[in-house]
């Protein structure tokens, strides 16, 4: 498939059906909005096996698949928040922690009781001043969904001349078509050569394919864009 043939809407809809759809979305998305995935972009089974031995747990199939597919691609995993490396995975209060917010304000994990599920639900733990009040809270229903959304959001937050973000609760013009809902608190829109993620109805992040497309976005959606 040529990356110009990538159908974002269809790929996102397929992600909702299961983890094979999620990995197809990540592959197509990476090629269309950056560079195609390569074998060196993932961790090896040996590295993941070593993490299992160190932790004394079995890693879910979906987690292993994500790490093997794109775990080393910083633009898809760690532009803002951080996907832990296999040797950084750890257990905290009944959950396997796999991702951390860039300032330590939250952590994402999988409950130990769900590790035997192939594509388990994920949880989040906000960092609170009163540690006694911290709890694991539900996040995504499937790890594969969380991983696909991570790839998309981290790419849109990459420090790149064709990415930008703005604090805004404005509605997008009609020519930015809404894509299937994917990710907790996220809405996605696609315009001419641009992809937009709306987070918590409070801010927008965008990735363009050309400088002209980014300039057109600035005109269509006025605001205090970081790079405009």
pLDDT tens-digit map of 64-120:
999 999 999 999 999 999 999 999 999 999 999 999 999 889 999 999 999 999 999
**Rounded Cα distance, 188 and 89, in Å:** 30
User: Which domain-ending residue is among 149, 168, 191?
Assistant: 149
pLDDT in tens, 168-205: 887 888 889 999 999 999 999 999 899 999 999 999 99
| CA 91 to the chain's CA centroid | 21
Q: Does residue 215 sit within a domain?
A: yes
| CATH number of the domain to which 184 belongs | 3.30.310
88: containing domain: 3-149
Last residue of some domain: 127, 149, 171? 149
**Pairing verdict, β 82-83 and 186-191:** unpaired
Same domain for 32 and 139, yes or no, is yes
CB 209 within 8 A of CB 33: yes
Please tell me whether residues 174 and 126 are part of one structural domain: no
**Triad 203, 147, 186: Cα angle to 5°:** 25
Task: Give this prediction's pTM.
Answer: 0.94
Q: Is residue 208 part of a domain?
A: yes
């Amino acid at each position: 498939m040529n990356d110009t043939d990538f159908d974002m809407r269809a790929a996102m809809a397929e992600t909702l059906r299961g983890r094979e759809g999620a990995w197809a979305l990540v592959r197509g998305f990476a090629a269309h909005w950056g560079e195609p995935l390569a074998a060196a972009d993932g961790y090896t089974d040996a590295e993941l096996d070593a993490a299992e031995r160190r932790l004394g747990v079995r890693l879910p199939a979906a987690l292993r698949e994500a790490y093997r597919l794109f775990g080393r691609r910083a633009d898809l995993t760690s532009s803002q928040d951080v996907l832990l490396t296999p040797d950084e995975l750890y257990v905290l209060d009944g959950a396997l922690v796999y991702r951390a917010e860039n300032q330590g304000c939250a952590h994402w994990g999988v409950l130990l009781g769900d590790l035997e599920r192939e594509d388990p639900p994920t949880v989040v733990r906000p960092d609170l001043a009163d540690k006694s009040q911290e709890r694991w809270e539900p996040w995504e229903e499937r790890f594969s969904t969380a991983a696909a959304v991570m790839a998309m959001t981290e790419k849109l937050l990459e420090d790149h001349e064709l990415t930008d973000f703005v604090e805004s609760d404005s509605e997008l013009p009609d020519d930015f078509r809404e894509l299937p809902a994917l990710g907790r608190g996220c809405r996605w829109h696609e315009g001419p050569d641009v992809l937009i993620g709306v987070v918590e109805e409070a801010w927008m992040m965008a990735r363009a394919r050309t400088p002209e497309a980014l300039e057109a976005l600035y005109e269509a959606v006025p605001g205090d864009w970081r790079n405009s």
